Amino acid sequence: MTQLWRYTNPVEITFGIGAIGELKQKIAGRNYCIVTYGDNPSFVDLARKIEHDAGPALVTIRDVEPNPSFIGLRVACASLSASPKEPEVIVALGGGSVIDTVKVLAATGSDFSRVQAYLEGRAGPETLSSTPIIAVPTTSGTGSEVTCWATVWDTEAKKKYSLARPNLYPECAILDPALTVGVPKSLTLSTGLDALSHALESIWNVNANPVSANHAVFAASEVLEVLPSLLDNLDDVEKRSRIARASMSAGLAFSNTKTALAHSLSYYLTLHHGTVHGIACSFSLPAVMRSVIGRDANCDAVLKRIFGTDLNRGADNLEAFITGLGVSTKATDYGVAQKDWVDAIEDALVGERGRNFIGTREAVLAAAA
């Protein structure tokens, strides 16, 4: 009997070189604010161009951290209070950290305490707002432009939260691969691996379905084929376009499944060892893949579309791919003691994302040994 499944994604997507020219039409005369980076002249110029085309923004917010935290988000929310009126739409111009920051602003306005209370379980969703979002990603990896959640970090308490509400899907996403051409090699690498992790994590997942699987197969196959050569030629617009589309497809996959064990493990490395997210969530992929082989016929069938019929060899090839990019697949190389890593695996398996994983504790611990 065919298993019941569902797939939905409400984001309108505009993709292609020059797609940012559609932004004025998407703003459609509404009062808007821009959220972007403050330490890069190219983003200053882009924000100015947007205002030239669409009219002045109510306010431009540049208080964005690489990993949005309670502390930094309070500052961003305070910056929003400088707006002379409530924005009717918020434009997110940047990578995943910018888009995640915008989702928090869309849910809470200038008062961060509302989102904090919700994340900590002290208030219900009725306390949150939902200002429309236009996402213009400038990196290829997070897929945040087509998901309804944002990762939020309480760095003081060493906790990670996910702000997840159906009304936080962006109204539309404008993906212009030309905006990613200036992304440096290290960020191109980590975001590309993030996209690969999103794709694979959506496959060994209790929420996987045929539509998410098709997106995941395309995304993973493209990253595996294109990322190494892109890293050798960062100005190749065609390869940038392929990775941007792969990242978007991975986002469309895990927008319905969420992530699984590798991401659950990554939070420990990021919080306690400062490991960059894209590396933290991808270095364990070969071990996680080995642990899941033979566990589920549907999962195996999807993985074979990417790695071929011999999945054990496929896991070896995946490890060679990652190490070939200069990324270690050993937790101890990131400053983690073996005992602490075993403890982190135990904790990750019972976490929200770990519970999405179809594998077993015993198989994961054996693969990670």
pLDDT one-digit tens code per residue, 261-278: 999 999 999 999 999 999
Q: Where in the chain is the domain with CATH 1.20.1090.10?
A: 184-368
Rounded to whole angstroms, the Cα distance separating 169 from 103 reads: 8
Q: What angle do CA 339, 344, 347 make, to 5 degrees?
A: 130
Overall residue count recorded for the chain in this entry = 369
Above 90 in pLDDT, residue 193? yes
Q: What angle do CA 250, 251, 253 make, to 5 degrees?
A: 65
**pLDDT computed for residue 219 by the predictor:** 98
With cut-offs at 50, 70 and 90, classify the pLDDT of residue 63.
confident
pLDDT tens for each residue of 207-252: 999 999 999 999 999 999 999 999 999 999 999 999 999 999 999 9
Rounded to whole angstroms, the Cα distance separating 281 from 348 reads: 12
Longest CA span, the chain = 61
- The verdict on domain 184-368 having CATH code 1.20.1090.10 is yes
Distances (CA, A) of 40 to 136, 137, 182: 16, 15, 11
**pLDDT computed for residue 39 by the predictor:** 73
Rounded to whole angstroms, the Cα distance separating 284 from 318 reads: 10
pLDDT tens for each residue of 77-136: 999 999 999 999 999 999 999 999 999 999 999 999 999 999 999 999 999 999 999 999
Q: Where in the chain is the domain with CATH 3.40.50.1970?
A: 12-178
Rounded to whole angstroms, the Cα distance separating 122 from 118 reads: 6
What is the model's pTM? 0.96
Q: What is the mean pLDDT of residues 56-67?
A: 94
Rounded to whole angstroms, the Cα distance separating 366 from 369 reads: 5
In this structure, the number of other CB atoms found within 10 A of the CB of residue 81 comes to 10
What is the residue-averaged pLDDT of the chain? Answer: 96
Q: Indicate the pairing of strand 12-15 with strand 172-175.
A: parallel
Rounded to whole angstroms, the Cα distance separating 137 from 45 reads: 16
CATH entry, 12-178, from 3.40.50.150, 3.40.50.1970, 3.40.190.10, 2.60.120.460: 3.40.50.1970
pLDDT tens for each residue of 284-304: 999 999 999 999 999 999 999
Rounded to whole angstroms, the Cα distance separating 366 from 282 reads: 18
Rounded to whole angstroms, the Cα distance separating 183 from 135 reads: 18
**pLDDT computed for residue 183 by the predictor:** 96
**pLDDT computed for residue 103 by the predictor:** 98
Rounded to whole angstroms, the Cα distance separating 108 from 116 reads: 9
